[in-house]
Copies of this chain bind each other. A is one copy, B any other.
Amino acid sequence: IAYRPSVAVMSITSSTNSANMYSTLSVNTVAPFVTHVTLNRPEKLNAMNRAFWGEIKECFQKLSDDPDCRTVVLSGAGRVFTSGLDLTDMSDFFDIIQSEQDIARKSKLFYAKVRDYQDSFTALEKCSKPIIAAIHGACIGGGVDLISASDIRYCTQDAFFQIKEVEIGLAADVGTLQRLPKAVGNDSIVRELAYSCRKLPSDEAKSLGFIGRIFPDKESMMNAAIDLATVIANKSPVAVQGTKINLNYSRDHTVDDSLEYMARWNSTMLQSEDLVKAAMAQMSKDKPTFSKL
């Protein structure tokens, strides 16, 4: 596939390259300041097991602070993006059921567990670098929660999405019901998907507003995702990260509150060297070089 060689050619030795750091993810620098995170248990369809929940959180918390990372591409290895929660690894839940007799005490344990899982995906939202999710094949259950916490969503023609939690007897609890409706433009379809567990094909996902672009195959999608990531990585990181943080803030606040936060933000950021560098680059038509952030 075309986009892999380009990675090999680069052979950057980044602090974030971590072949053996995680058991469920691989993390590579695929272009300057562009990090590629791969869900990497292809033999298990990238199902989300116990290790995954800790690793995905740690990974994006580190990337948020990693000055060598300015944009992230997130994709899945193997046949599908992810099959969602690894049900063979649900012993934690049964442990809770059996560990306590009292409902209130079980409730405290379940609450902590759900909160932990939620925090894992909130780490993507809180990561100050834009995240481009590139989805092929199936994206099921927890996979929808995961990409709902990403910034930009690309997919292949053959991709499909499924909010599957109701099928296993529970309401989706790690972000889909909270983030997806605010990111798209057809509440009727969102609710139909969430109640009925039907599969959402890629083209309907695009017209729903969940997906930004559809590609014929994974190779073209990955190339486009990395190209976009590269474009963003060449921009001022002060400007890009400020844009993400303010977009997140605006989603959850009134316009008035958000304008106030924005004005405070830029009262500092307009003093940054990036503004001068970007302005000069615009005039000289040169490509600006920004310091790490």
Contacts and interface: CB of A to CB of B under 8 A. Distances in A.
Nearest to A150: B188
A8 interface: no
A66 B266 CA distance: 22
Contact of A236 (B166, B179, B207): B166
A103 B274 CA distance: 10
A77 interface: no
A286 interface: no
Contact of A255 (B114, B169, B178, B211): B178
A215 interface: no
Contacts of A274: 102, 104, 169-170
Interface residues of A, number: 109
A205 to B, nearest CB: 10
Contact of A278 (B168, B194, B196, B264): B168
A239 B171 contact: yes
Contact of A184 (B177, B187, B228): B187
Main secondary structure of the interface of A (DSSP, over half): helix
A279 to B, nearest CB: 6
Contact of A186 (B108, B212, B250, B256): B212
Contacts of A194: 243, 247
Contact of A266 (B173, B182, B183, B243): B173
Interface string A190-215: 11101111100000000111111000
Given A105-B291, A171-B243, A173-B263, 12 more contacts: A71-B195, A114-B262, A114-B263, A122-B259, A169-B239, A171-B246, A177-B247, A178-B246, A178-B262, A181-B251, A195-B232, A253-B254
